[in-house]
């Protein structure tokens, strides 16, 4: 058997009620209680907020982080460990926390700051994101070049690239994508993440990380920016990630090449499971909730 990787999801799959099954277990409840002590109302937002409230970046990121760390704690308590880890976008903060670069408290404080800084950047411009399917990365890049302030930002899997930019160009961009034989799907996020629109947030987050540095992780944690394991300058890479493209397809291929053959998505959905299946159909993928169900059935 090969190695297991925990992959922590980013924004987009959040929904009211997420994490309920993990909050009901001791290990998960301890995580939620700690996060609630640092940011009151985090568990309430996860379980009973509105879609709109959860979609606000300043809420999305802390809530997803808490939910994901609770899920990882429950899996750990049941003897399921990641040999390597990565996180998509904000999920990289959770991956680094799980990997030992910082403790839960520091990771949660950082993700709260990250969410606030990105929310501030979002409020300065009317921006949006969309996923483009059925076109190659090169085709998407070529179409983006026809528009001002529109960027390919997340290289998710073969035939799927996310773009970010001014909201006003999205409708004509969608039309160009359709003409080329592709399809553009608006994403449930508010902001042009991983683009130059996030430069100010990236710089401010970098200042925070210089004031309060994080360590190199003890576990093998793969970076969105380099698609390779963290080897040096963890704070610099994590800050740069905010305004840099996510090289997810390349990252997953590198993890597989390192011996990973099982991926467990730590998050409220299955977006990463679906992407990884497209990247390499030979590997095993499942969600944390599915693993928990298997454990419960085995014990039952």
Catalytic positions are 89, 194
Indicate the SS3 state at residue 35: helix
Task: Please count the CA atoms within 13 angstroms of the CA of 82 that sit on its side-chain side.
Answer: 32
Q: Mark 147-186 as b/e (b = at least 16 C-beta within 10 Å).
A: bebbbbbbbbbebbbbbbbbeebbeebbebbeebebebee
Query: How many whole angstroms separate alpha carbon 71 and alpha carbon 94?
Result: 11
Q: For CA atoms 111, 288, 299, 46, give the dihedral sign.
A: positive
Helix axes 104-124, 91-98, angle to 10 degrees: 170
Query: How many whole angstroms separate alpha carbon 68 and alpha carbon 57?
Result: 16
Q: Mark 222-260 as b/e (b = at least 16 C-beta within 10 Å).
A: bbbbbbbbbeeebbebbbbbbbbbbbbbbbbebbbebeb
């Amino acid at each position: 058997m090969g190695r297991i990787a925990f992959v922590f999801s980013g924004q987009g799959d959040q929904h009211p009620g997420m994490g309920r099954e993990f909050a009901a277990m001791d290990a998960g409840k301890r995580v939620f209680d700690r996060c609630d002590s640092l940011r009151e109302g985090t568990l309430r937002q996860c379980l009973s907020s509105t879609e709109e409230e959860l979609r606000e970046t300043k809420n999305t990121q802390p809530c997803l982080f808490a939910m994901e760390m609770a899920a990882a704690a429950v899996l750990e308590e049941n003897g399921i460990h990641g040999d390597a880890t990565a996180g998509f976008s904000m999920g990289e903060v959770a991956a680094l926390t799980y990997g030992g670069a910082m403790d839960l408290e520091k990771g949660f404080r950082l993700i709260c700051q990250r969410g606030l800084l990105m929310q501030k950047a979002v409020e300065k411009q009317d921006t949006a994101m969309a996923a483009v399917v059925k076109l190659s990365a090169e085709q998407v890049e070529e179409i983006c070049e026809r528009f001002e302030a529109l960027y390919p930002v997340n290289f998710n899997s073969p035939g799927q690239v996310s773009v970010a930019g001014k909201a006003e160009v999205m409708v004509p961009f969608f039309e160009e994508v359709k003409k080329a034989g592709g399809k553009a799907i608006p994403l449930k996020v508010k902001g042009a993440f991983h683009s130059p629109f996030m430069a100010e947030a990236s710089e401010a987050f970098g200042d925070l990380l210089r004031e309060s540095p994080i360590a190199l992780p003890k576990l093998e944690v793969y970076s969105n920016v380099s698609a390779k394991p963290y080897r040096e300058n963890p704070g610099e890479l994590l800050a740069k990630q905010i305004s840099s493209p996510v090289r997810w397809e390349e990252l997953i291929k590198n993890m597989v090449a390192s011996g990973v053959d099982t991926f467990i998505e730590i998050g409220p959905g299955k977006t990463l499971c679906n992407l990884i299946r497209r990247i390499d159909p030979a590997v095993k993928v499942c969600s944390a909730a599915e693993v928990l169900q298997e454990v419960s059935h085995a014990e039952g």
